A and B are shown apart, each in its own frame.
Chain A
Amino acid sequence: MRKKSYLILAIVFQCAIIAAVPGPKLFTQLTGKTVTIKTVPVDPYDFMSGYHVILRYEISQPRSLEFTASRHQKHSTLYNILIEDENGVWNSQAIHSTYPEDIPDGAVVIKGKYQHGRIEYGLGKFFIPEENRQEIEHDLRMNQRQALVDIKVDRFGNAALLRLRIDDRVYDY
């Protein structure tokens, strides 16, 4: 009798874990503000995750702010203030180690973790269909400087990936 009850509890627990996996991303997608950022991709294959593109962003290593690795500890949390430019692309204005108190009007704060000499925002993988892989790969290679990504950023700084855009082509999966 006890085994039956414990097993049911364990299965419910597993279901709760699976439901919790996308929880934070879903919250961000439902409540966050849409922001467009520039990206440069690399394309690997991971058996466990299917085909995906690894995306890197200008805001991960913001040159304009002379972002240097030596100033930050590995795995430390950083907050990047983004401002929209005249082309609708959001760029880094300032980086803080705590959530900034004075945020300029219209700006957005995105939270990331410092590792591998970059700030990682949990937006590194964009999963693509196997059958479209070659097409997307080719498009990215030919248009590296024009690739943009739409994301949602919530009020806590968490970000969720929405779609990849290259010129007028939209990849939304």
Chain B
Amino acid sequence: MEVGKVSSSFRKQLKRTIPLWQEQGLLTEQQGVQLGEYYRLDHVKTESTQLLLSIIYTVGAVLIGVGVISFVAAHWNHINRPIKVTLLFATMLSAHGLGYHLWFINGKYPRLGHALIFLGTLIFGANVGLMAQVFHISGGSGRMFGVWAIGAAAVAYAVRSIPNATVAVVMAFLFFIGFSGIWDGPDRVVFWYPFVAALVLVPLVYLCNSRWLLWLVMVNLSITSPVIFGEQVGLWGAYMISIGLGAAFLGWGIFNSRSRSFQHFSRHCMNAGAALVLLFLYLLSFGDCARELEMNLRHLFYDNRVILSMGLGYLISAAAFYAISIYVNYKRMDDVLTVLLLGIGGFAAGIVGLVAGQVGTMILTNVLLIAIAFSLIRASFSEEDRRKFWCGAVVLGAVIVGRTLEFETGLLIKAIAFTGSGVGVIIGGVLFENFMKKKKVIHA
């Protein structure tokens, strides 16, 4: 892992601990110096200060940006149109120009320069709204947010700016909201949204090398994709697109694990993929959802063929990406079984209703969830991974609780089920922690 991706809290702790180790004779002075150089421990304090300054400048820029946006709402009518337009350009170019000067010409205040360029992007967004106001241009805010996203993305790409990229992702999401049509259905343009958003925003995540952006983009896609296809195709559309996205995230995580520079993305992608698949599998394990999905699936081929074709295109691309990532990397992967159960199982659960009906869907999803839970728990023992154990335990517990509540069994059985689950979780947790302690002793 690159030194840059080691957390600053680890480096601070290491800086405090090295002198103690040297006193105890665990490290020589030479080794202490080498460790200090390798982890750049001399820069820890400076980097913390610089990070704080960046945050302060960015917050200041956001506040100024909000002030400028509020100015839009004040509606400044005593100035004639040409001067209004000149002022719009002047404020934006002043922020950008000063930022450019401080960052690239003067060079002594790169963070302040960056914050001013971010301010310039915020003013750009306000200017789009102001121009619409000056020329009485109608149209929903969605269009404005889309234009703002494009402008912010351009600057983010130019200087690898996380704040500008954040604005691009958030504005893209708001553009989607504006065009998803709560009252009269989505505009056709939003059906291309997941594809275009992934094409534009994913490279930005790598350029900026930011986990924050990675999560923003994954959340963006996870919310927007099922909404589009759920609205047009029904529950089956929402379910399958989400499973496809989850599988794509899993594949993405597997590919990232091979990269030295982006290995730190891997766990996050895998977690997001697993969470998405598990969530929708769990929803489908309920009888009402399974029945609705089965009915939706049987009527699918008679309606919305264009949208269906587009959705199938996304699905096939996601499935292919997932399959290729596993095929290329299965020898290096720790937990192939869980990944296979999530992806293949998720897809299968979406179509089994065609042959086996509602009951078949329910049986398959519940069996899958239990199998995934046990696979996670098994993997947690072999990999000594506490997170996997508790994830498996939560999935198992959720299945038991869900079935108990759904089938309206008598209070006595409910009491036994809940008590048994609780006792099982506690015993399982204690056994696992004892196992982990023994492993620590062995390693020590």
Interface residues, chain A, with chain B CB atoms under 8 Å away: 3-4, 6-11, 13-15, 17-18, 21-22, 25-26, 46-52, 74-75, 115-116, 120, 122-131, 160-161, 173
A129 and B76 CA atoms in complex are apart in Å by 7
- Report yes or no: A11 in contact with B159, Cβ–Cβ below 8 A: no
In the complex, per-residue mask of B179-195: 1 if CB is within 8 Å of any chain A CB, else 0:
00001110110000000
Q: List 9 A-B pairs, minimum CB-CB distance, nearest first.
A: A6-B158, A50-B75, A10-B158, A22-B135, A129-B77, A124-B138, A10-B154, A21-B131, A161-B136
Q: Which of A22, A116, A131 has the most CB of B within 10 A?
A: A22
Determine chain A's interface SS by DSSP, over half rule. Answer: mixed
Nearest Cβ on chain A to B70's Cβ, whole angstroms: 8
Are the C-beta atoms of A49 and B132 separated by less than 8 Å? yes
Q: Which residue of B lies closest to A151 (CB)?
A: B136
- B117 touching A75, Cβ below 8 Å: no
**Interface secondary structure of B, over-half rule:** helix
Does B100 sit within 8 A of A, measured CB to CB? yes
Q: Within 8 Å CB of A51, what residues of B?
A: 75
User: Are B147 and A127 in touch, CB under 8 angstroms?
Assistant: no
B72 at the interface (CB under 8 A from A): yes
Contact (Cβ within 8 A) A10 B155: yes
Given known contacts A116-B183, A127-B133, A127-B136, is B128 in contact with A21 (CB within 8 Å)?
Answer: yes
Q: Is the CB of A125 within 8 A of B136?
A: yes
The answer to whether the Cβ of B4 comes within 8 Å of any Cβ in the partner chain is no
Residue numbers in A under 8 Å from B92 (CB-CB): 14-15, 18
Identify the B interface with A (CB < 8 A).
69, 72-75, 77, 88-89, 92-93, 96, 100, 104, 117, 120-121, 124, 127-129, 131-139, 141, 144, 147, 150-151, 154-155, 157-160, 183-185, 187-188
* Measured CA separation A131–B77 after assembly (Å): 9
- Residues of chain A with a CB closer than 8 A to B93's CB: 11, 15
Complexed CA–CA distance, A46 and B160 (Å): 33
Task: Tell me if B75 and A17 are in contact (CB < 8 A).
Answer: no
* B150 CB, min distance to chain A CBs, angstroms: 7
> Once the chains bind, are B132 and A21 in contact (CB under 8 Å)?
yes
Taken together as a complex, chains A and B put the C-alpha atoms of A37 and B14 apart, in Å, by 75
Partner of B137 from A8, A15, A21, A130 at Cβ < 8 Å = A21
Q: What's the minimum C-beta distance from A168 to chain B, rounded to whole angstroms?
A: 21
B160 / chain A contacts, CB cutoff of 8 Å: 3
Q: How far is the CB of A172 from chain B (nearest CB, A)?
A: 11
Could you jot down 6 A-B contacts, CB within 8 Å? A6-B157, A10-B158, A15-B93, A21-B147, A49-B72, A74-B184
